[in-house]
Structure formats: structure tokens, C-alpha cells
Structure 1
Amino acid sequence: MKQARLHFYAELKDFIAPNGQNKTIVHNFKHRTSIKDVIESYNVPHPEIDLIIVNNVSVDFNYIVQNSDDIHVHPANASIKQINIAPLRHLSPQVSGEPRFVVDVNLGRLARYLRLLGFDSLYCNNFDDKTIAEISSITQRIVLTRDRKLLHRKIINHGYFVRVETPKIQVREVLARFNMYSFFKPLTRCTFCNGKLKQTEKQNIAQRLKPLTKKHYEKFLVCSDCNHIYWQGSHSIRVARLIREFSKTDSPLS
């Protein structure tokens, strides 16, 4: 029986059983296996990983694990100041500019909140895992999910496992993880379909408005994709408060 030692760092420990989070994991194996398969056998999805150091050498996911290997696995955004190894092979693709997402079926509320803030977030309640993986691979969108197995799909390069269950706190988690505060563009996307909103003259949609709406409101937005109409109704105070709360970087949401 061959053995390798694994060390997981920082937020990657979230995926390890509590009794093993702060311990060296001894992995026993008989057959030829890639380091990607070994790591994911401990439920750590590869899109969350940026560096793998084996015996003081930086390797990629295709590395074949050898007997007595000492393996150190670091997450994306990890502090690597103490890693005195060159060259380093970064495995987590860098997201340049404003991030775009494809959101799995269990995170519908998160998708709507991200759209409210102006972020391009594809979501459909009948997307299966295969469809989500293909969309991510083809369009380089970041998968947001609570399903670890989805992130194990090899074609997914950009992905993040959302840790918390409460939708409002999920938003804060994602905003912080991808440093998104400078990209806020609230009320520019349709929360129903993700299409872009555009201003329209009241006369262009008057026939679609209810009598009281037509009487009391003058400013309207229309989704360029699904044609849904938005106006500053009684709900606008709640929406504005929500946007302000999401914009704060130093106060938790409940």
C-alpha cells in the first residue's frame, strides 16, 4: 500500500470533516491516480484551488501521485508570501473585470439579489448540472452552487461553493469573495430574467399599466429581453434599503 500526506489550507478546510481539518491527512492508494482525483476524493472541488505544492514543487492537476508525496493544497486568493518556490503554477483562472455568473437551481434568491445589484447572473430553475457546466465552460462564467459534486466536473474552471444558507448573507459572501463592490450598478438588470433595463416613455407602455399605476407614476424601466415593466412603487423603499445594506462592507446581514 502506498501513502501520501495531504495538507489543506485556509477556506479549503471547510470541505474537510471537522475531525480532520487541522490534521495531516494520510491518503492510502494502490493504483495510478491524478492529484485532482485524490484531492476531490476529500470533497474539495478543484475550482476552489489555486496552488498545489508537492515535495516543494508546484504542480498542476495532472500530476500523478507518488508514494511518500507531501502535498500542500492552497485556495484561490490565498496569501503565498511564505511559499518560497519558483516557478509557481497558479491553477485558479484570474477573473478580469466584472464577474459574470451562472447560478445553480438551489440559489434562485441569490441570483435575483445579484441581478438587483446589476450583476450578470444566468439562472433558470430547470438548468441541470450538465447544462450549468457547459454554460460555464463555453462562456467562462463563474458557477455559484451549494452542490460540491457539480464543481467536480472537469470542464468547470470557474466555480465557487457558497458556504452559507441564508440568501442575504450569501450575497455578502459572494461580493467579498470576488471583490465586487466597485462594480455595483443597481436597478440595471431585470430580476426576473437577467435582461438589461432601459428607460421608456410612459406613453409607450400606457396600455399595459393598471389605472392607479398610470395615474400616480411617471418614470418607468422596461426589460429589453422579457419586456417586464418596473416603476418606483411602494416597494421602492424596501429595495433602496436592501441595496444600501448590500453596499456596506462592514456590517453583517441577517
Structure 2
Amino acid sequence: MQLTAKCTTIRNLDRTKNLELINGRYYLHHYRGRQTIKDRVESIGVPHPEVALILKNGEPVDFSYLVQPGDLFSIYPPLYNFKLSAEKTLLPEYPLDKPKFILDVHLGRLARYLRRFGFDTAYRNDYLDPEIADIAEKEERIILSRDLGLLMRKKVKWASFIWNDDPKEQLKEVFNRYSLSQYYQGESRCVNCNSKLEKIDKEEIIERLEPKTKKYFNDFRYCKTCDKIYWRGSHFKKTEKLLNRLKES
């Protein structure tokens, strides 16, 4: 592309095919004086946690680079099948061995799915954006959101924008981006409140069980917070089946 002395060109390369926001498009920007590439990229609707690499005229730069007239930038998102070296990627290293999450108010069903697979997932349907950002920073949680404004907050380090409307497709997005299949160790969290489940003896709860549950099941888990009992019934088989589909995707 021919560049003029007063323009900057930004090329966004996205990881999916069906996005309206960025999809291999070129954006021609008029030079407006002192501005970082981070501010310029977010001005076209791309939050910084969704940027893995920025090339300026073919060379990597960080978010603090000051845009100059005639610059050509290529903006790369996190790529599932390509891992950048630590010195090149703009994505901060996640410090925990196993990912834990916090979700915005639009992702209640996804929160239940993630808890069902044993992932520590904070969610309330009345969270405000500043509260989510604060909790994520304090508890080292990855933010999953459909709110671009939330992901553009300065203190947000680890986050992913969720593109799909369908909760199972949302789950697939998260499994792919964070390679979650490797962490699954069975159902270990309450889907209602996120508390860790504890093993409980059948005799302690036998009066609360339905006749067929008493007859066919002996292994039980219990949520002290919700007073809810879990066992490996048909829901467990559905979880295992869904996990196999996620591994194949």
C-alpha cells in the first residue's frame, strides 16, 4: 500500500473468519501528533489483551511505541496454533499453573459450564466493570467478556473477548485459547456458587436421596455453601461427552 507522509496504516489480522470488527482489514489513519500504538489500536475497537504482536514496518514494537507518519502496522491476535517467543509477545505471562476466570454479566451460562469442568470461575449477574477489573487484578483471574470497554481498562492484564452467542461455542473458544483440556480432573466445583465440592459419605445423606439414586450410586460430593449434593449420574456422562467433542475441535 502507498503511504502518504501524513498517514499511518494499520492492518488487523484476526483469528476467526466471521468477525465484523477486524478481519484482515486495512485502516488508514491521519497522523494526529503524539499517540501510542496502544491508543491507536484501541481507537479502532481492538482491546490490548487481544493483541499478541505488533509489527511496525515489519519489526516488532511494544504498546508504548509512538506512532509516526508513514508507519505501517500489522496487528496480530493470539493465535491458537502458533506460540510467540517471550521477547516478542505482548501478552503478559499468566502466573498460575491452572487458569481461573471471572466473567461479565453476559456470560452466566458459560460460567456454569466452566465450573462444571472444575474451573474456578467468579461470576455474578450484578458485577460492574470496575469491580471485575479489580477482582481480576487482585485474584489473578482471566477476564472473559463481551464488553470491549471492560477489556480496554488499563489495569486489565489477562482477558479474552468472547465472540459467540451460543454458550457451548463460547466454551469451545475458551478451551481452545487456554488449552483447558489438559486441566480437567472431573467435576470438582459447584455450578451454582463456585465452591469446591467435598466428598461425603453416602450414609450421611441417604435420607435425601431418591430411591434409584440410593440403589445405583455410592460416590457423592457435597457443596457446603449451597447444600447441594452431586453424584455421577447422567449429567456426568454429558460432561464427559462434551469434553471429548472439545478435544476434537
Report the TM-score, using the length of structure 1 for normalisation.
0.83
CA contact (8 A) 1:181 1:247 kept: no
In the TM superposition, what is the alpha-carbon distance from 1:158 to its structure 2 partner? 0.4
In the TM superposition, what is the alpha-carbon distance from 1:189 to its structure 2 partner? 0.9
1:245 corresponds to which letter in structure 2?
L
Deviations 1:21-45 (A, max 9, x none): 3442111132422211110111111
Note the 1:156-195 alignment, pairs <5 A: 156-195=156-195
1:247 to 224, 228, 244: 244
Q: Whole-Å Cα distance in 1 between the matches of residues 114 and 247 of structure 2?
A: 19
Q: Which residue of structure 1 lines up, in the alignment, with residue 42 of structure 2? A: 40
CA contact (8 A) 1:119 1:185 kept: no
User: What is the identity percentage for the equivalent residue pairs of Structure 1 and Structure 2?
Assistant: 33
Q: Whole-Å Cα distance in 2 between the matches of residues 161 and 31 of structure 1?
A: 30
Q: Whole-Å Cα distance in 2 between the matches of residues 106 and 188 of structure 1?
A: 24
Aligned residue for 1:182, secondary structure, equals: helix
Q: Which residue of structure 2 lines up, in the alignment, with residue 90 of structure 1? A: 89
Aligned residue for 1:6, secondary structure, equals: strand
Alpha carbons of structure 1 residues 68 and 93: separation in structure 2 relative to 1, 3 Å: same
Deviations 1:117-169 (A, max 9, x none): 11111111111111111111222211111111111111111000111110112
Alpha carbons of structure 1 residues 15 and 108: separation in structure 2 relative to 1, 3 Å: same
Q: Which residue of structure 1 lines up, in the alignment, with residue 120 of structure 2? A: 120
Q: Whole-Å Cα distance in 1 between the matches of residues 100 and 78 of structure 2?
A: 17
CA contact (8 A) 1:50 1:75 kept: yes
Q: Which residue of structure 1 lines up, in the alignment, with residue 145 of structure 2? A: 145
Alpha carbons of structure 1 residues 24 and 109: separation in structure 2 relative to 1, 3 Å: same
Report the TM-score, using the length of structure 2 for normalisation.
0.84
1:10 to 9, 14, 29: 14
Structure 1 residues 210-219 or 163-172, which shifts more?
Answer: 210-219
- How many residues are matched? 243
Q: Structure 1, unaligned stretches of length 5 or more?
A: none
CA contact (8 A) 1:117 1:243 kept: no
Aligned alpha-carbon RMSD (Å): 2.9
Q: Which residue of structure 1 lines up, in the alignment, with residue 71 of structure 2? A: 69
